[in-house]
Structure 1
Amino acid sequence: MLSDLQDQFAAAARKYCAAHGIAPEPDWFVLKMQEEMGELTQVWNKLTGRDRRRERSAEALAQDLADETADLLGMVLLFARENDLDLAAAVQRKWRFAPGAQRPPA
């Protein structure tokens, strides 16, 4: 499940890099995670009134928040893929569930 998602993000990232003339070096992924976290924080500050007021609706800011969260998720998955990290095993160790496993009935 996670590896399929990582492959999809990798394909999108390859297109993005090719279109913008970027040749990602090994640290590009961690630097992009930091950049995306900064953008997510900036939107959060706007949404929660901790930033300069701008003419953006709450709905637009909520969409921006979702978009920046998606960017961060993508970079986390790309970082893990680039560094051969087994995220599924790490989630199981740290969060104590298996990603993609069937949930027991409630």
Structure 2
Amino acid sequence: MLTELQKRFDKASLSYCDLHGLERDRDWVMLKLLEEVGELTQVWNTMTGRGRDKGLSDADLKLALASEVADALGMLFVFAHQHDLDLPDAILRKWRFDPQEIG
């Protein structure tokens, strides 16, 4: 399941780069991951009163937060795919459950 997600996010990322004429190498992926985590942090700061109030409703902020989590998660999957990382094994070792058993 996770390996397939890595492939699908990677394919989507490649399409995005092709569409926008971007050269996607390992550095670009790491920098994009950091960018997405930064955008997630920015929304969180706004939601918790630590950032500039942008006049967004609570519902808009929650939607923005979900979107930024999706972006950061997607880039993590792309990063894992680029580096041929075995996420199910790593989750089993670090979180002590087998993500392949989720169904």
TM-score (norm 2): 0.94
Per the alignment, residue 91 of structure 1 pairs with 91
2:46 aligned with 1:49, yes or no?
A: no
Structure 1 stretches of at least 4 aligned residues deviating more than 4 Å after TM superposition: none
Per the alignment, residue 38 of structure 1 pairs with 38
User: If you compute each CA radius of gyration, which structure gives the higher value, 1 or 2?
Assistant: 1
Q: Percentage identity across aligned positions?
A: 50
Per the alignment, residue 25 of structure 1 pairs with 25
Q: Is the 8 A contact 2:40 2:65 kept in 1?
A: yes
Q: Give RMSD over aligned pairs.
A: 1.2
1:26 partner letter = R
Q: Indicate the structure whose relative CO is greater, using CA pairs within 8 Å and at least 6 residues apart.
A: 2
Aligned length: 103
Listed as ranges, the gaps of 5+ residues in structure 2 are none
Per the alignment, residue 4 of structure 1 pairs with 4
Q: Which structure's residues are more often helix, by fraction?
A: 2
TM-score (norm 1): 0.92
